[in-house]
Amino acid sequence: MTDQQVLVKALPAEPPPAARPAPGRRRARFDRQRTAMLLFIAPAAILYALMMIVPSLQSIQFSLTDWDGISDTFQYVGLRNYEDILTSGRFWNAVRNTLILGLGSAVVVNAIALGVAMMLDKLDHAQGFFRTIVYLPALVSGFIAATIWKYVLNYNFGAVNSTLKALGLDAQTRDWLGDHDIVLWVLLFIICFTLGGNTTLIYLANLQSVPQELVEAARIDGASRAQVFRYVTWPMLAGAVTVNMTLMMIAGWTIFDQIMVLTMGGPGFISETMAFFIYKVGFGEYRAGYGSAAAVVLFIVVMATTMIANRYMRSREIQA
Amino acid sequence: MSSANLSRRAVVKAGAAAAVAAPALAACGPSAGGGDGGGKTLIRFLYATGDATWNEVVAAVTEAFNAQSENVVVEPEPLPAAADYATALKTIDATGNWPALVDMRDTLTYMEAGKIAPIPESVTALLSDEVYSPAEDGSVYIVPSTALNGEIGFNIVYDKDYFEANGLAVPTTYAEFIALMDAIKANGDVPLAMAAAEVWPSDQIWKPLAAPTFAQYSESGGFWNTVEAGEATIADLREPMERLKTITDEYALEGWQSTQDAQTSTLLVNGQAIMATSSAGLGRLNDIAKVDPDYNAGLFIIPADDGTLNVLKNSVNGETASGIAISKQAQDDGAQYDAAVEFLEYYYSVEACDLMEATGVVSPNIKAAAEVTRNSSIPGAADYFGLLENPKLAWYENEPNNPNHSTFQTFFRQSRIEMMDDQITVDELIEKSQDEFEKNMAEG
Amino acid sequence: MTVVKPKRAKERRRLKPGEVVVMAVLSVLVLAVSFPVLYALLNSFRGYADITKDPMGLPTSLDFGNYVTLFKTTEYGEALLNTAIITAGTLAILLALVPMAAYGIERVGGRTGRWIYLLFIAGLMIPFQVRMIPLVTSMNEIGLYSTLTSVMLVHFGGSAAFGVLLYCSFIKGVPREIEEAANMDGAGRLRTFWSIVFPMLLPVTSAFVIIQALGLWNDFFIPLVFLDASSAGTINVALSRMSGLMASQWELIYTGAIVATVPSVLLFAAFQRYFIKGMSIGAVKG
C-alpha cells in the first residue's frame, strides 16, 4: 500500500459539511475567516470572469442582433435568430450528431476504459508496466490523430482501402470520410479509438479500493463472477462512473477538431456538430449574431443534459 | 496594431539607411516618399495558401522586391488553409490587426465596412483599363493579383497521351463531352476525378455546367440579380443540376466527397482517372509538371450544347472580385500605406511580371504586357493560351449586388454536394436553395 | 474506521495463466490503438513517391531526411518553444490562483460557496466557440492579440473550471483542525495555506498539473485563433499550416505528427510515477 493510498483510507468516508453553523461565540471569528476566504477566491474568480463569464454574456448580447461580425454597427432583432435556428433542419441535424458523438463516445470510452481497468486489476505482475503502455495512446492529441486518420482513410490512396484491395476485399472499400451513411460512425470510431487514458486510471484506482473481503465473502456465499461484479464491484464504482461519464460527455458536446480536420462538416451538412456549426455560420458565413444564438442554445443543451445525466447517475449511486 | 509598432521600431533602427534610400525613391514613383524619414518600413502581405504555385509566386516577387527596395520590407504572410480563406479573413478582421496588403475575397463586404483603402492612380495607371474600376465613391479599392482572365481557369485537365493512344479528341459540344466520357468508361478507365473535401472545389465542375444558363442573363444584369428581382428562380438551374448529377453518378471517380483539390493531380499522374477538374488553369498544369515532369497534360473547357465556351468575366469591383487590396489600417498609419503602394508599383512592373510567368502563373494585365516574357515550357500551356484565342469563347457577366450573396453561396455549395451525394433530390435542392436565397437577401 | 486490507499486500504468487492471457490481450489492444501513430512513425522515414505507390510499405532505411526537411523549411523549432512556454506559463498561473480559490470556496461553504463553485463549474460546459469572438475583440483592444500571453489567459478560463472541480472534491476531505490550530498559533491565513494546506494537496496538484500539461501541449483551436501568422504558432498550429501548404506531401505531415507527439511522451515518461499516483488519489475522492 502506497503512502497516498494510506492517506485516502485515512480520510473520513463522508467529508464534514463544508460550512457548519457557527456557534454564537465564534461568530466574529467566523466572519473574519469568511472575508479572508472570499479574498482567496477573488484573484482566480476575477480572471475567470474576464476570460469566461464576460465573453459568454457578450455572446448572449450578440445573439439578439443581426451583427455580421465585421461592421461597426448592428441592430437588435429580438429573438429572430433563435426562431431561425430552432426551425432550421441543419441545426437539428447538428444537435443530433452532437448527441450521438457526445453520448456515444462517453459510453463507449467508459466501457473500454472499465474493461481495460478490470484487466489491469487482474494483474499481480508487471501491472505498472502495462498501466504505462495502456496510457500511451492517450498522449496523442485529437488533432494529430485526426490528421493521421485523414490520410489513412483516404479513399484513393489511404492505407485502409489499399489493404482491403490487397486482400481481395475490394467490395469492402468505402469512402470512409465521404460516405454520408457511415461518416458519422467513422467519426465516432475515431473519437473512441483510445484505451481511455485518464478514465482507465480513475477506474483502476477505484477497483483497487474495493475491499477484497467483500469480494471473497460473496464468493464463499456462492456468488458467480458476474454476480460479484453486478452486486459488489459495480455499486462501488458508481461514483467513478458519474465522474467519468460527466467529464466525457462535456468533452463530447464540444467536439470540433476532428470534424474540422476530417470532414469540414460534410459531405454537405451531414457531419456538422453544434460546435462546428457555430464556428461555420459565425465566421464563415458572416452571421455572428446567428452563430452566437446557436452558441447560447449549445450552452443550454450542454447544461441541461449534463445536469439530468448527473442527477440520474447520482440517484443510482445512492440506491447502490 | 503590432505591425504599426514594428514599423516604428524599424524606422529608428534603420535611420542610417535614410540617406541611401532617398535617390532610389524617384525611380519607384511619387508616392513612396512617406513622412517617416525613409527608414525601412516593414509591411505584411497576407495571402491564401493551398496552391503551391501561388505560394512560389508570392515568395519570388516579395523577395525580388525586398532586394531592390531601399526603404520597404514586405513580409509574405501565408494564411493557413485550415479554415476556408473567407473564414480566416474574418478572423483577421475580428482582431483588427490587418496587414497592409491583402489578397482579398468578399471585397464588397469589406469595402462597405470601411476596412480597405483607395488605391492611388500611380498603381492603376500601370494596369490595362478594363481590369480595374472605381467603386460608387469614385475610388479604386482592388487590383488584380494575376491575369484577369475570369474563370477561364475552370478547366478539365486530361492525359494527352491517353487521348492519342485511344483516338480521343477534345470535345467541341456538350454531347461530345459525354460521349468522350462514355468512351473512356468503355475502355475500363475512370473518366473524371473531382474534389469536394474542402467544399469549394465542387465549384470546379458546377460552374462550367451552369455557365450556359448564367450567360443567358448576362445582358440583363446577371443571373443572381435577376433571381433577386424575382424575374428568375433557382429552378432555372435545373438542367445544369441534373447534368451535375449525371456526371457525378456515371463518370466521376468514387471518393470525390473526401478528395482534396491538390489530390486530383496525384490521381491524374497515377492514372486513376483520365481527366480531372481544376480551377487553377496554368497553375494546375505547373503543379502536375512538378509531381511528374513526364506527364503530358492538356486542358479544355466543358463546352455548351452549341459548342460555346461560356466563361465568367472577372468582376473587377464587386462582391466576387478578388485581388490585392490595401487595408484601411495601413492608410491610417501612413508609412505603411506608402510602402504598400511602392510594392504594388513593383508588382505591376515588367520585371515582376516576368518573375510570375517564370514561376508558372499568367501575370496581371499590365499596359506594358507586350514586353512580358510568356512561359510556354509547361506541358499543356499552349492549350491554355489557345483558349484565350478560341473563337467559341464567350464572356458573360454575373455580378451579384447583394452583399449577403457570399453567405448564400456557402450554403448553395454545400447543398449541391448534398444533392450530388444523393442526400436530397434535385427538386429538394431547388426548393431549399430558393428558400435560403430569399431569406439571405431579405436580411441584406 | 475500518482499515481495508489492501490486495497488493497479498504474498507474491507465481504468474497465473489468466494473467498471461490478460497481458497478451492488453498488448494486442495497445498495438491496435497505437496503429495510427506507428503508421505515421514508419512513414516518416519514407519518401513521397514511396508512400503514394505503396501506402502499406515499410521503410527501407532509417532515413531522417524528412525530419531535417521539416526543421529546415518550417518554423517548427520555434513552434515547439512557443508550445513549451504556453504550457509552463498557463500552469504557473493556474497553480498560483486555483488551489487557493478552491480552498476558499470549500471553507466559505454554504450557499455562497455553492454558487461560486457552480459558477466555476459552468465553465466546463461553455464551449470555447461561445466566447471566441468577444475574446478576440477584447484581446486586441488591450494589445495582447497574437501574444503567447493571450493564449495563456484564454486557457486559464477553461482550465480553472476543471481545477476548481478537482481541488474542491479533494479539499472536502482535508481536515480543518490542522489549519485551525495553525491559525490559533497566529500564522497568517495566506501563510497557513501555502505552508500547511498546499503541501497536503500535493497528490491532486500532481494530477492536475500533468492532465493540464498534456491538454495544453495538445491543444489546437485556441492557439489557432489567437496566434496569427506573425507568430510561428504552436506545434499543432504549425502542423495545420503545413497541411495547407503541402496538401499532399504526406511524408512531412507524418513527420510533423511524430515530432509533435514525442515531447508529450517524454513528459509522461518523466513524471508518470507522480501522475498515476495523483490520478488515483484524485480519482478515489472524485
Q: Give one DSSP letter per residue of A183-212, joined into a string.
A: HHHHHHHHHH-S--THHHHHHHHHHHTS-H
Is B134's pLDDT higher than 50?
yes
User: Which chain C residues are closer than 8 Å to A54 by Cβ?
Assistant: 134
| The CATH number fitting domain B155-312+379-443, selected from 3.40.190.10, 3.30.70.360, 3.30.230.70, 3.40.228.10 | 3.40.190.10
User: Which chain B residues are closer than 8 Å to C54 by Cβ?
Assistant: none
Q: What number is the average pLDDT over the span B282-303?
A: 87
Q: Looking at chain C, which subunits does it touch, using at least 3 CB pairs closer than 8 Å as the criterion?
A: A, B
Query: Please, which pLDDT band fits residue B338 given cuts at 50, 70 and 90?
Result: very high
The winner for highest mean pLDDT among A271-285, B143-157, B248-262 is: B248-262
Say if strands B297-300 and B192-193 run parallel, antiparallel, or are unpaired: unpaired
CATH number of A64-319: 1.10.3720.10
Neighbour count for residue B443 (Cβ, 10 Å): 18
**Region of poorest pLDDT, from A207-211, B19-23, C94-98, C277-281:** B19-23
Q: Which of C140, C224, C243 sits opposite B97 (nearest CB)?
A: C140
Q: Which three cell numbers stand for residue A300?
A: 443550454
Strands across the sheet containing B192-193: B192-193, B275-278, B155-159, B297-300
- pLDDT of amino acid A12: 34
Q: What is the pLDDT of residues C138-195, one digit of tens each?
A: 887 788 888 899 999 999 998 999 899 888 888 877 777 777 776 666 667 888 888 8
Q: What number is the average pLDDT over the span A81-108?
A: 90
Q: Which three cell numbers stand for residue B117?
A: 483603402
Is C286's pLDDT higher than 80?
no
Residue A2, C-beta contacts closer than 8 angstroms, at least 6 positions apart: C277
Element (DSSP H or E) covering residue B325: strand B323-327
Q: Which of B3, B44, B94 sits opposite C133 (nearest CB)?
A: B94
Q: What number is the average pLDDT over the span A234-241?
A: 84
Q: Which of C23, C39, C164 sits opposite A130 (nearest CB)?
A: C23
Average confidence score pLDDT of chain C: 81
Identify any residues that bridge with B157 across adjacent strands, giving them in sequence order: B276, B299
Is C30's pLDDT higher than 80?
yes
- pLDDT of amino acid B10: 29
CA A186 to chain centre: 18
CA atoms within 13 A on the CB side of B316: 20
- pLDDT of amino acid A34: 82
The winner for highest mean pLDDT among A21-30, A81-90, B422-431, C27-36 is: B422-431
Q: In terms of CA atoms, which chain A residue is nearest residue B253?
A: A156
CA distance A83 to chain C (A): 19
On whether ipTM exceeds 0.90, the answer is no
Q: What is the pLDDT of residues C8-28, one digit of tens each?
A: 444 456 778 888 899 999 999
Radius of gyration of chain C (CA): 24
- Please answer whether residues A75 and B443 qualify as being in contact, where contact means their C-beta atoms are separated by less than 8 angstroms: no
Q: Which of C153, C239, C243 sits opposite A51 (nearest CB)?
A: C153
Give CA–CA dist B332/B324, Å, rounded: 18
Q: Which of B257, B266, B411 sits opposite A267 (nearest CB)?
A: B257
- Please answer whether residues C87 and C236 qualify as being in contact, where contact means their C-beta atoms are separated by less than 8 angstroms: no
Which one-letter DSSP state was computed for residue A50?
A: I
Query: Please, which pLDDT band fits residue B319 given cuts at 50, 70 and 90?
Result: low
Residue A20, C-beta contacts closer than 8 angstroms, at least 6 positions apart: none
Closest CA to C105 of C182, C184, C161: C161
The reply to whether residue B79 touches residue C229, judged by beta carbons under 8 angstroms, is yes
Q: Which three cell numbers stand for residue C284?
A: 478515489
Give CA–CA dist B185/B171, Å, rounded: 16
Give CA–CA dist C184/A221, Å, rounded: 53
Q: What is the pLDDT of residues C138-152, one digit of tens each?
A: 887 788 888 899 999
User: Which chain C residues are closer than 8 Å to B263 by Cβ?
Assistant: 247-248
- pLDDT of amino acid A301: 82
- Please answer whether residues B381 and B157 qualify as being in contact, where contact means their C-beta atoms are separated by less than 8 angstroms: no
Q: Which three cell numbers stand for residue B438?
A: 430569399
Query: Please, which pLDDT band fits residue B416 given cuts at 50, 70 and 90?
Result: very high
The reply to whether residue B80 touches residue C229, judged by beta carbons under 8 angstroms, is yes
**Region of poorest pLDDT, from A227-231, B113-117, B375-379, C148-152:** B375-379
Query: Please, which pLDDT band fits residue B14 given cuts at 50, 70 and 90?
Result: very low
Query: Please, which pLDDT band fits residue B444 given cuts at 50, 70 and 90?
Result: low
Between the two ends of chain B, the Cα-to-Cα distance in Å is: 31
- pLDDT of amino acid B28: 33
- Please answer whether residues C122 and A303 qualify as being in contact, where contact means their C-beta atoms are separated by less than 8 angstroms: yes
- pLDDT of amino acid C272: 74
Percent of chain A whose predicted confidence (pLDDT) is above 90 = 19
Give burial (CB, 10 Å; 0-12/13-18/19+) of B18.
middle
The reply to whether residue B96 touches residue C143, judged by beta carbons under 8 angstroms, is no
Q: In terms of CA atoms, which chain A residue is nearest residue B257?
A: A178
Q: What is the DSSP string of chain C?
A: -PPPPPGGGSPPPPPPHHHHHHHHHHHHHHHHHTHHHHHHHHHTTS-HHHHHH-TTPPPSS--THHHHHHHHHS-HHHHHHHHHHHHHHHHHHHHHHHHHHHHHHHHH-HHHHHHHHHHHHHGGGS-HHHHHHHHHHHHHHTT-TTSHHHHHHHHHHHHHHHHHHHHHHHHTTS-SHHHHHHHHTT--HHHHIIIIIHHHTHHHHHHHHHHHHHHHHH--HHHHHH--TTS---HHHHHHHHHHHTTT-HHHHHHHHHHHHHHHHHHHHHHHHHHHHHHHHHHHH-
The reply to whether residue B258 touches residue A177, judged by beta carbons under 8 angstroms, is yes
**Region of poorest pLDDT, from A174-178, B129-133, B173-177:** B129-133
Average confidence score pLDDT of chain A: 82
Identify any residues that bridge with B127 across adjacent strands, giving them in sequence order: B366
Q: Which of B55, B96, B266 sits opposite C140 (nearest CB)?
A: B96
- pLDDT of amino acid C190: 84
Q: What is the DSSP string of C3-53?
A: PPPPGGGSPPPPPPHHHHHHHHHHHHHHHHHTHHHHHHHHHTTS-HHHHHH
User: Which chain B residues are closer than 8 Å to A68 by Cβ?
Assistant: 109
Q: Which three cell numbers stand for residue B432?
A: 431549399
CA distance B46 to chain C (A): 9
Query: Please, which pLDDT band fits residue B346 given cuts at 50, 70 and 90?
Result: very high
> Is the CB of residue C129 less than 8 Å away from at least one CB of chain B?
no
Is B65's pLDDT higher than 80?
yes
Is the pLDDT higher at C169 or at C234? C234
Say if strands B297-300 and B155-159 run parallel, antiparallel, or are unpaired: antiparallel
CA distance A154 to chain C (A): 11
- pLDDT of amino acid B320: 67
- pLDDT of amino acid B421: 93
**Region of poorest pLDDT, from A69-73, A165-169, C78-82:** A69-73
Say if strands B275-278 and B192-193 run parallel, antiparallel, or are unpaired: parallel
Give burial (CB, 10 Å; 0-12/13-18/19+) of C17.
exposed
> Is the CB of residue B404 less than 8 Å away from at least one CB of chain C?
no
User: Which chain A residues are closer than 8 Å to C253 by Cβ?
Assistant: 147, 151
User: Which chain C residues are closer than 8 Å to A243 by Cβ?
Assistant: 283, 286
Is A272's pLDDT higher than 90?
yes
**Region of poorest pLDDT, from A22-31, B165-174, B224-233:** A22-31
- pLDDT of amino acid C244: 55
**Region of poorest pLDDT, from B88-92, B201-205, B338-342:** B88-92
> Is the CB of residue A157 less than 8 Å away from at least one CB of chain B?
yes
Helix/strand/coil for B385: helix
User: Which chain A residues are closer than 8 Å to B259 by Cβ?
Assistant: 154-156, 178
CA distance C258 to chain B (A): 19
The reply to whether residue C230 touches residue B2, judged by beta carbons under 8 angstroms, is yes
> Is the CB of residue B203 less than 8 Å away from at least one CB of chain C?
no
Query: Please, which pLDDT band fits residue B31 given cuts at 50, 70 and 90?
Result: very low
Please report the residues numbered 38 through 57 in chain C whose beta carbons come closer than 8 angstroms to any beta carbon of chain A. Answer: 39-40, 52, 54-56
Identify any residues that bridge with B395 across adjacent strands, giving them in sequence order: B311
Which residues of chain C does CATH 1.10.3720.10 include? Answer: 67-285
Say if strands B41-48 and B101-104 run parallel, antiparallel, or are unpaired: parallel
Give CA–CA dist B437/B412, Å, rounded: 9
- Please answer whether residues B302 and B173 qualify as being in contact, where contact means their C-beta atoms are separated by less than 8 angstroms: no
The reply to whether residue C244 touches residue B3, judged by beta carbons under 8 angstroms, is no
The reply to whether residue B80 touches residue C133, judged by beta carbons under 8 angstroms, is no
**Region of poorest pLDDT, from A137-146, B76-85, B233-242, B401-410:** B76-85
- pLDDT of amino acid B84: 60
Residue B48 has φ and ψ, to the nearest 5°, of -85, 130
Please report the residues numbered 127 through 166 in chain C whose beta carbons come closer than 8 angstroms to any beta carbon of chain A. Answer: 127-135, 138, 153-154, 156-158, 160-161, 164
Q: In terms of CA atoms, which chain B residue is nearest residue C247?
A: B262
The reply to whether residue C125 touches residue A250, judged by beta carbons under 8 angstroms, is yes
**Region of poorest pLDDT, from A290-304, B79-93, B278-292, B310-324:** B79-93
CA distance C230 to chain B (A): 7
> Is the CB of residue C137 less than 8 Å away from at least one CB of chain B?
yes
CATH number of C67-285: 1.10.3720.10
Q: In terms of CA atoms, which chain A residue is nearest residue B405?
A: A285
Query: Please, which pLDDT band fits residue B318 given cuts at 50, 70 and 90?
Result: low
Is A81's pLDDT higher than 60?
yes
Give CA–CA dist C27/A161, Å, rounded: 25
- Please answer whether residues B419 and B429 qualify as being in contact, where contact means their C-beta atoms are separated by less than 8 angstroms: yes
> Is the CB of residue A205 less than 8 Å away from at least one CB of chain C?
yes
CA distance B430 to chain C (A): 32
Is B185's pLDDT higher than 90?
yes
Is C107's pLDDT higher than 80?
yes
User: Which chain C residues are closer than 8 Å to A295 by Cβ?
Assistant: 127, 129-130
- pLDDT of amino acid A5: 32
The reply to whether residue B81 touches residue C245, judged by beta carbons under 8 angstroms, is yes
> Is the CB of residue A68 less than 8 Å away from at least one CB of chain B?
yes
- pLDDT of amino acid B11: 28
Is B127's pLDDT higher than 80?
yes
> Is the CB of residue B81 less than 8 Å away from at least one CB of chain C?
yes
Residue B293, C-beta contacts closer than 8 angstroms, at least 6 positions apart: none
Strands across the sheet containing B116-117: B72-79, B41-48, B101-104, B323-327, B116-117
CATH 3.40.190.10 fits B2-148+317-371, yes or no: yes
- Please answer whether residues B57 and B51 qualify as being in contact, where contact means their C-beta atoms are separated by less than 8 angstroms: no
Interface test with C, best of A47, A148, A232, A261 (most C CBs within 10 A): A148
**Region of poorest pLDDT, from A133-137, A188-192, C265-269:** C265-269
User: Which chain B residues are closer than 8 Å to C247 by Cβ?
Assistant: 50, 52, 81, 260-263
Is C72's pLDDT higher than 90?
no
- pLDDT of amino acid A19: 46
Query: Please, which pLDDT band fits residue B13 given cuts at 50, 70 and 90?
Result: very low
Task: List the Cα angle A130/A135/A140 in 5-degree steps.
Answer: 145
Peptide bond just before B80 cis, omega within 30 deg: no
